[in-house]
Every structure is written in structure tokens, then in C-alpha cells.
Amino acid sequence: MANGVASAPALQQGIEQSGPSDPRPHGKRDGHRHTYGAIDLGTNNCRLLVARPNDIGFTVIDAFSRIVRLGEGLSQSGKLSQEAMDRAVGALSICADKLRRRNVSLSRSVATEACRRASNGREFVERVRDETGIALDIIEPAEEARLAVLGCHKLLEPGDGPALIFDIGGGSTELVLIDQEQGVPQIRAWWSAPWGVVSLTESEGKEALEGPDRMLAYKRMRERARRAFHNFSTMLPEDKEGIRLLGTSGTVTTLASVHLALPSYDRRAVDGLHVPIEAMQDISNMIAGMDYRERSGLPCIGSERADLVVAGCAILEAIMEIWPAKKLGVADRGIREGILRSLMARDGWTL
């Protein structure tokens, strides 16, 4: 477990400056008329965003997302499997093609927990560069947290109380405690726990999650996540008046879709939504009690997310326990948007 509390000043500096640590150029630069790209390769997903800045932010001109499960089996073997790497390279090849076709002039591509943890993570990065031309930057948890906050903090519920922003990934979960003064998030503490939807699911095992005692398995996963957050929870303010909570991850957007009973996923309906905590708790427990077939039958879960969503619910419930806000803010944005804002701010855009 990585405790980032001592590094909060450095993380704050990154938010205020909004500068990338290692931008990757993709062609001739032309003043402020760049097209920017951002790739986020996580333990479970590969995501791309291509955008151009405007007076109020940026306009997305292309996007791509694919579940690649790069970290599948990593918790047992300690390395990325050949099949997982092949899936990721296939998705990144599509991203590279989109960067070229959109004439992206400046981009940054990052990899997170799976590549950090895997013994062959560096070798995989070299393969990606050789086969796709994409130079992946394996970032530390502090940078991952900084980019997530930078990408989504504008969706925080209005208020003066402290806020907790979290990102439930495939291999880890990042939590950042912030205050806001004059609209700028001031980071007070951050934490990275080694449990994400993939690693927590594998820790429990498919048989336990699908068996007749699956609620007991769910309880064990929730307790595992709660223990991972324990030290961080002791550093949170005791006064919980006016607190706010914002989540950016597939877990929270999926549960928000279930809450809205959407027939198919709709980013416009989900991004920026604020859901009562009691509703999210009820949905989490309902999903945990279902078997794989029942979960797959829910329109916004389907077969691709059905085996991992229960672990996401367990992590979310542990977070809501240590930070009992009245509502959960939902963000369908995060690291990619944080990268874009960093790159654009470096070129003088105020976003």
C-alpha cells in the first residue's frame, strides 16, 4: 500500500501548474492550433481522447475505449500474460491510427497499476513502442491521482466543505482529499490502495463470487477494501459536515446507469449526476446478491462487466463508509481529461 500523504505538497504543485511531466510530440506544432491526444492504459481498460481547445474548455473530436484486461492473472503470476499484452497492443494500435488520422500534434500516453506491478511491465512498454509507435509513460500513483483530480474536480457538488475524489481502477484505487479556495482544489492528502476491480475479484475467486454464499464473499471483499483504507481514514477530518464525494471510474458510472434505469449507456445522462448515497448502497447490495447471468442481464452492465462489477461495489461501499457524504457525484472523465488539460495549460490555455 502506498501512502501519499507526505507527498501532498508535490501533488498540489502539479494541480496548480497543470503541467505534464513527459509530453510526447506527434508532429509539427502550430501556435495554439494543436490537436491534443491522451491515452490511459489501465489494468482493465484502454482509453483514448483526442481534442482541440476552445474558449471554455475543449472539444472532443475522437474517442476510443476498449476493455483489454491487461492485468488479468497478474495477482497470481506477477507478470502480464501474453494474451493480455496482445489484447492491449491491438487496442493501442487502433489508438495510434486515430492519432495519425486526426493529425495529433501533441499527446501523452500513460500506463498505471498493471505495468507498475508487473515484472515484465518495462518489456511490454518497449513492445508497444516498437509495434505501435506509442511511448507509454508508466506513472506513479501520485501522478495518477493528480491527473484524475485535474480531469474531474469541476464536477464537485457546490459547497465549502472538504471533498474526497476517488478513482476505482482495475488494479488500484486512488483517493484524494481536497479543499477548494477560489475554485482551485487544494490537496490535503492522497492514498493509493492495491485493490481495484480486477485484483479484488481475483483475490476472492470466481467460485466464491458465483456460489450460494456470494454475499459472504462480498462481505469479505468489502472488509478487505475497508482495511486498505484504514490508515487514510484516520487522517480524514472528524467533522463530516458539508462534505462532498466524487467518483470517477467504470464502477460509479455503471451504477449510476443502473440507478437511472438506462436502456443503454448515455454519458450525457451520467456525467455530472449526483446520486443519494442510500440509493448507491441499495444498488451495490442488489448487484452483489445477483449471479453472473442476472448481472449480465442488466443493460448497462452486460457480460463485459458482470464479473468485475461486484468488486467495484465492495470498494465503493468501503469508501462511502469512511466518507459518509449525502450524495455521490459521478464523473465520466478523469485521467485522459487531466492529461489534455495539462498539455493545453502548458500551451497557455486557461481551462
Q: What integer pLDDT is reported at residue 30 of this predicted model?
A: 43
Which domains, and CATH codes, for the chain?
22-138 (3.30.420.40), 143-331 (3.30.420.150)
Give residue 24's pLDDT. Answer: 41
pLDDT at 18: 40
What's the pLDDT tens digit per position in 47-80?
999 999 988 889 999 999 999 999 999 989 999 9
Predicted pLDDT of residue 267: 94
Check: CB of residue 308 under 8 Å from CB of residue 198: yes
Relative orientation angle of helices 121-132 and 82-101, to the nearest 10 degrees: 40
As a dihedral over the C-alpha atoms of residue 224, residue 226, residue 228, residue 232, rounded to 10 degrees, the angle is 180
pLDDT for residue 180: 78
Q: Give, for 2, the enclosing helix (H) or strand (E).
A: strand 2-3
pLDDT at 83: 98
pLDDT at res. 172: 94
Residue pair 342/24 in contact by the 8 Å Cβ criterion? no
Identify the pLDDT of residue 27.
36
For residue 174, what pLDDT is reported? 95
Give the pLDDT of residue 32: 53
Res 31: pLDDT? 46
Bridge partners for 327 per DSSP: 276
- The gap from C-alpha 158 to its chain's centroid, in whole angstroms, comes to 22
Q: Which residues of the chain fall below pLDDT 50?
A: 1-7, 9-10, 13-31
The model carries a pTM of 0.87
**What is residue 9's predicted lDDT score, i.e. its pLDDT?**
44
pLDDT by residue (tens digit) across 187-242? Answer: 899 999 999 999 999 999 988 999 999 999 999 999 999 999 999 999 999 988 89
